Structure 1
Amino acid sequence: MRFYRFKYLIMSLAVIFISFLCINLSANADQKNVYDLSEWQGNFTSAQVQQLKNEVPFVILRVQYGSEYSDRTFQHNKNLLDQYHVPYGVYSFSQYESVSDAKNEARVLYNRAPNAKFYVNDYEDQTVKSGDTNDATLAWLNELRSLVGNKKILFYSYQNFMLNYAAEAISSYDGYWLAAYQSNEPERENVLWQYTDHYYSPALGKYIDSSLLTSKKSSWFIGNPTVVLHTKYYRDNQTLMTKSSFNEDFYNHVVSDNKYMNYLKITSRGSNNRAKTVTTDCKAVVGGKVFYRCYYEGKYLGWISSDALGPHISYSKANGTKNVKSNPSNNFYNHVMNSHFKNINMTARGSEYANKKLTVTQKAKKNGWKSYYYKCYYKGKYLGWFYQGSFK
């Protein structure tokens, strides 16, 4: 992947002959090989891209070297891949020096390639000068996740580097793209194995880096291109709450609606609109996933998935006592169940207070519900929120 490979040169030479004889078969037969390409392969031609479509299930393009250097061929080659419907993922050769720098590199990568099928953090050069390398690597992931939603985000490196600098952060990534120039598949778990930098591509007429699909099929990376999701829209007027913690943004269109894939843009940052009361006027259902068009205090926010939303809850005072049933089916929680709060945890077991008389000080009702939750105490001890159905 890098333009210099001195660390792997000896290993690479040792396996070139094996790779050529045993693995360098026509990719059209099984499409197990995946190429990663950069400006070092030059600008593609239309004829090359049309042939490339029959050699590989997808390619991976370098977008940048750090945040400041943009690959000179990316835009040209990406446009041809789009024209001939060749799926592609993208990678950034990381040069981040701190947590904030890592976040910036991730944002720049997304802005340069917002329609990529998946994204890769190619971290194989230790450049972090401030803070922990794991923290920076995790920050890169989290920043990108807030932009790309459910698209896969991979970590690329060779094993020794990963263990030294990203052993903790890698577990949060969707998969490991392992660089190991050897004839046998490494024991280390991976979703892609880069086994050679000397694979001959008939389409490109060059020797290039190549990886093999291992534990995942191509559809895991790029989705299933044969499946066309149909979106249904409905009028839907609700009052909801954005959750206290979610990693999505609001968009001008439903992100899963194929018709608008090339026109998507962020209309409002989710991080600026957490734990807010929003109204909706339209609902969309696509592939079983639900999205809402949202407004805050009359201002348009955009479309967001139901994963980022919870029911709006009305709170009011409640003075008195209530008796728990003999066999209560609910437990006590620190917040109303399924509300917008980040951490909702059980605070006490309902069965431990069977037939007990509790003091209630507040009640809460979800929009559209007729039943209440009550904030409960027993002999002055705070128990938590308890559902009305478990009272006598």
Structure 2
Amino acid sequence: MTRPRPVILDISEHQLPSQLNYPQLAQAIDWVIIRVQYGSLYQDKHFQTHLTSFKNLNVPVNVYAWVRGINGADMEKEAEDFYRRAVGFQPSFWWLDIEEGSMGNMVKGCELFRRRLKELGAKKVGAYIANHRYREFGFTSESVQAYDALWLPTYGQNDGSYRGVTPTATANYDLHQYTSNGRLPGYPGPLDLSRLVRKTSAFFTETESLSSSGYQIGDQVTINGIFVSSTSTVQLRPLRTQGTITRVVKNAANPYLLDDGMGWVNGRVIVKKELRQYQVSQGETLSGIAQKLGVSWQEMARLNQLANPHLIYPGQLLRY
């Protein structure tokens, strides 16, 4: 049986935790893609158990949501619910599962979903599109360019192995789901397996470190969510959208305390950092200022569009 590496598994509530030997299955795969919801109103029964179990075994996790929005506002609401449910698990990739024609213009609706996910803080967002629905829904090479990756299914004989049958909707895809009848140690039934076609495994599995994302005490930030503690996975709606970082707890899920008690945030709910300014004094150099502020002089030069970083003058205001 031909089983391409890396081994990429996707599961949902249909794979019952009681039937999964998580440690054994973790040894057989390279990463897992877990369904979180079937539209806004239906949350997968076991997604939290799946995510927690695989993360505890150090298996990289992606998440996906079956898209069912019936209009633009509904698509954005689905994105918000998807993000709220999954963000605490720090997935390395977010996928839209596009198989159902739930509204007239699925390309436009899914773009609203994708854009809202990005606004909320999802770093990488991809599209899983049914091969036979790709053209039917109106997707083109241009319309999928906004996504960070494209994942297409085509099974061929669907005997659990890959025998060279590839998607026909487009030649430009990154993952190929080649069977729904795969078999792996750790589960008694059939499984969906995919293979990597373009990019690297790291592109889909490396998670941005929330505790080393460049924020520090004193930074003023704009946020779109907040947590009650540094370890909480339940995202709340903030009373205010701006605050100042007053404490940093390294390696915490939510490492930044705002305003000595407003709440805790991480790099995914921080929308942007408000730039501060420094006034140049006589005799100062950009490298000396950067060292004093604990930032990179190259980044300061870029932020301030300094063609010659050696030419700064007293009284000049520099953003950092």
TM-score range, shorter chain: 0.5 to 0.7
CA distance in 1, matches of 2:275, 2:86: 35
2:224 counterpart of 1:249: yes
CA distance in 2, matches of 1:265, 1:71: 17
Q: How many Å apart are 1:199 and its aligned residue?
A: 1.5
Partner SS state of residue 63, structure 1: strand
Q: How many Å apart are 1:179 and its aligned residue?
A: 1.4
Partner SS state of residue 29, structure 2: coil
Q: How many Å apart are 1:228 and its aligned residue?
A: 8.0
| TM-score relative to the length of structure 2 | 0.67
Partner SS state of residue 100, structure 1: helix
2:315 counterpart of 1:370: yes
Q: How many Å apart are 1:200 and its aligned residue?
A: 1.7
The alignment's C-alpha RMSD in Å is 4.2
> Deviations along 1:79-109, whole A, 9 cap, x unmatched?
3323433332221111111111111111222
CA distance in 2, matches of 1:119, 1:33: 18
- Counterpart in 2 of 1:308? 272
> Deviations along 1:132-156, whole A, 9 cap, x unmatched?
3222111111221233342x21100
Q: How many Å apart are 1:127 and its aligned residue?
A: 0.8
> Deviations along 1:330-372, whole A, 9 cap, x unmatched?
xxxxxxx958xxxx9xxxxxxxxxxxxxxxxxxxxxxx97227
2:103 maps to a residue whose letter is V
- Counterpart in 1 of 2:284? none
Of residues 189, 192, 198, the one that matches 1:206 is 189
2:94 counterpart of 1:119: yes
2:273 maps to a residue whose letter is L
- Counterpart in 2 of 1:222? 205
2:125 counterpart of 1:139: no
Mapped contact 1:91–1:121 kept (Cα < 8 A):
yes
The verdict on how the C-alpha distance between 1:204 and 1:279 changes in structure 2, with shifts beyond 3 A counting, is closer
Mapped contact 1:44–1:77 kept (Cα < 8 A):
no
Mapped contact 1:60–1:91 kept (Cα < 8 A):
yes
Q: How many Å apart are 1:58 and its aligned residue?
A: 1.3
1:40 maps to a residue whose letter is H
Larger Rg: 1
Q: How many Å apart are 1:267 and its aligned residue?
A: 6.5
- Counterpart in 2 of 1:107? 80
The verdict on how the C-alpha distance between 1:369 and 1:81 changes in structure 2, with shifts beyond 3 A counting, is farther
Higher relative contact order (CA 8 A, sep 6+): 2
2:92 maps to a residue whose letter is K
CA distance in 1, matches of 2:115, 2:85: 18
Mapped contact 2:210–2:266 kept (Cα < 8 A):
no
Across the two proteins, how many residue pairs are aligned to each other?
270
1:208 maps to a residue whose letter is L
2:184 maps to a residue whose letter is S
Q: How many Å apart are 1:281 and its aligned residue?
A: 4.9
Mapped contact 1:95–1:125 kept (Cα < 8 A):
yes
Q: How many Å apart are 1:221 and its aligned residue?
A: 1.3
Structure number with higher strand proportion:
1
- Counterpart in 1 of 2:38? 65
- Counterpart in 2 of 1:35? 9
2:146 counterpart of 1:172: yes
2:71 counterpart of 1:98: yes
Q: Which runs of 5+ in 1 are unaligned?
A: 1-20, 25-29, 243-247, 255-259, 315-336, 345-367, 374-392
Mapped contact 1:200–1:208 kept (Cα < 8 A):
yes
Mapped contact 1:105–1:140 kept (Cα < 8 A):
yes
1:263-282 equivalence runs, <5 A? 263=232, 273=241, 281=246
Q: Which runs of 5+ in 2 are unaligned?
A: 157-163, 279-301, 306-312
- Counterpart in 2 of 1:86? 59
- Counterpart in 2 of 1:156? 128
2:94 maps to a residue whose letter is Y
Identical aligned residues as a percent: 21
